[in-house]
Amino acid sequence: MASIKILDQIHVSPSTTSSSNPVVPLTFFDIAWLHTGPVERLFFFPYNNSTSHFLSTSLPSLTSSLSLTLQRFHLLTCHVTTSPSDPAQYIFCPSSSNSIAMTVAESDGSIDFEEIVSSDPRDLSKLDPLVPQLGKSDDGTAALAALQITIFPNLGICIGVSIHHVVCDDSASIHFLKSWAAACRDNGFDSESAPMPPIHDRAVVPDPNGLYFKSLSEMRELASNGPPPPPPDLSIKPPALFMATFSLSREEIDRLKHGMADTAASSDVPVHSSSFTVACAYAWICLLKCRGENPTKETAHLLFSVDCRARLTPPVPVQYFGNCLRPCFVEATVKDLLSENGVVSGAIEIGKSIKGLENGVLDGAELWLKKILSILPNQPMSIGGSPRFRVYDVDFGFGKPNKVEMVSIAKTPGTVSLSERGTEEGGIEIGVVLPRDEIERFSSCFLGGLKLI
């Protein structure tokens, strides 16, 4: 069993305490994530020095730069509560600790660093000890963020990040990480390459139709009407889960696009051909096949999020720190997806969903949650992350990561992660967590399909 030794537990506060940080209300984009959990990522970096060298040389810089960065991203040190003047209004309020917990640990040697940074299937239990857990403040409220640095002496380090989805989406969390990395690498924010400061003002998010209270009402209605979950059958031991990474090179993505273009031209069907579209469609088909999906089943579902910042009127600034996502729902017949031109069929339906955003990005927003819950029994594939976040650009001064894993996808069956490929511009990495037999079937389908394009 993989294990680590805890060396220190540090609570890092903003570099200066400011009384000008106001209480911030949750928006309707935030409220949807109130009862979910954290997004968890692991960043692995090469590090050819001892633990003592890291503790004396690198840790002070990481800690001081985090403190400086939290001065900008103060919401991460807050907690969520209800407004004293309006119990229906949730707010981000300063916590009693006004800090983020950062655990410093050392591998005891039972975790093979070279194995866990590979793309091959790895037992998820080997990664679990590296993931920071969200604790509670002295007042009993849940923390919104936690960090863990695990040292593999003379091999590498892992920086684990857990950020509760209610405080921000992936775009904002990566903004925080790149800001922290820049402050650590450049000794502050004076460099011209430093990321822009975040914007916390919720007034930049329009809510013309009272979506906050409509969404909150829907959440409460669903919670009150929903049956309690059945008790788990303790006699059934769940299968061990394995995480693997599958890569599409730029050349392979281009071949998929060209194949789609040829098929679309012959059938006179418009196709939204992008790297994201073909990667999602290809992964969707591989997941259906590895599950042994019955071709007689009528429909399959895909769920992914779209950043609304540039799609709202007026647009929300790109550096807005919060949630600004809407779900996109895709439905296709299993028969079409498992056909010879399945990638094209999937891409067509994904393209229709993206095209539909032009009719109004907030159209039907008060029913999004109900629709998500309605398709969950159909085991939809969902997408976490995006290649556009450029997670491999997070550089604390150790060089770029040699691996980035979004381990929180394991908590929602059917979720895969997408990121840019760390070793090649224009490529895409797809992270998958499945039982051993299913991940082997996924691999066979994924690699076998690439030989045919």
Is 259 found in the same domain as 162?
A: no
Percent of the chain exceeding pLDDT 70 equals 92
Q: Quick one: which of 197, 200, 216, 92 has its CA closest to 143? A: 92
pLDDT of residue 235: 61
Q: What is the mean pLDDT of residues 347-354?
A: 91
Reading the block at residue 274, the tokens are 């992008």
Identify whether residues 251 and 168 lie together within a single domain: no
298 and 171 in a common domain: no
Task: Give pLDDT, residue 298.
Answer: 87
246-250, 270-274, 327-331, 444-448: the lowest-pLDDT one = 270-274
Domain harbouring 385, CATH code: 3.30.559.10
Residues known to be catalytic: 165, 395
Residue with tokens 């929602």: 412
For 299, phi then psi, to 5°, come to -135, 155
pLDDT of residue 419: 97
Distance (Å, rounded) from C-alpha 432 to C-alpha 244? 6
Residues 274 and 170 in one domain: no
Q: Is residue 404 part of a domain?
A: yes
Residue 282 sits in the same domain as residue 383: yes
- 381-384 vs 299-307, strand pairing mode: parallel
pLDDT tier for residue 409 given thresholds of 50, 70 and 90: very high
Owner of token pair 């809407």: 326
Average pLDDT over residues 100-119: 94
Residue 231 domain flag: no
**Average pLDDT of span 296-313:** 92
- 160/219: higher pLDDT: 160
The answer as to whether 27 is a domain residue is yes
pLDDT at 1 over 60: no
Dihedral Cα 65, 134, 49, 174, nearest 10 deg: -50
Residue 65 resides in a domain: yes
413-424 per-position pLDDT tens digit? 999 999 999 989
Q: How far apart are CA 333 and CA 235, in angstroms?
A: 36
User: Which strands form 241-248's sheet, in the order they lie side by side?
Assistant: 122-123, 241-248, 428-435, 415-420, 381-384, 299-307, 325-333
Question: Considering the domain boundaries, does residue 230 fall inside one?
Answer: no
| Domains identified in the chain, total number | 2
* Same domain, yes or no: 172 and 245: no
- Averaged pLDDT, 100-118: 94
Asked if residue 233 belongs to a domain, the reply is no
pLDDT at 228: 59
Q: How far apart are CA 132 and CA 77, in angstroms?
A: 15
Q: Does 284 share its domain with 355? A: yes
Whether residue 272 is found in the same domain as residue 196: no
pLDDT band at 268 (very low <50, low <70, confident <90, very high): low
Q: Above 60 in pLDDT, residue 380?
A: yes
- Look at residue 338 and tell me whether its pLDDT is greater than 60: yes
pTM: 0.94
Q: Residue 435: pLDDT above 60? A: yes
β-bridge pairing 381-384 and 415-420: parallel
Q: In the listed set 203, 228, 255, which residue is the last one of a domain according to the structure?
A: 203
Q: Is the pLDDT of residue 437 over 80?
A: yes
- The verdict on 151 and 296 lying in the same domain is no
Whether residue 227 lies inside any domain: the answer is no
Which of 173, 203, 233 represents a domain boundary (last residue)? 203
Please give the residue range of the domain that contains residue 176.
4-203
pLDDT at 431: 97
Q: What is the pLDDT of residue 38?
A: 96
116 is a domain residue: yes
- Give the end of a domain, one of 178, 203, 228: 203
Q: Are residues 62 and 189 in the same domain?
A: yes
Q: Residue 453: what pLDDT?
A: 77
The residue that leads in pLDDT, 364 or 175, is: 175
Task: Supply the pLDDT for residue 257.
Answer: 87
Shared-domain flag, residues 155 and 293: no
**Least confident segment among 22-36, 284-298, 434-448:** 284-298
Please state the rounded mean pLDDT for residues 195-217.
92
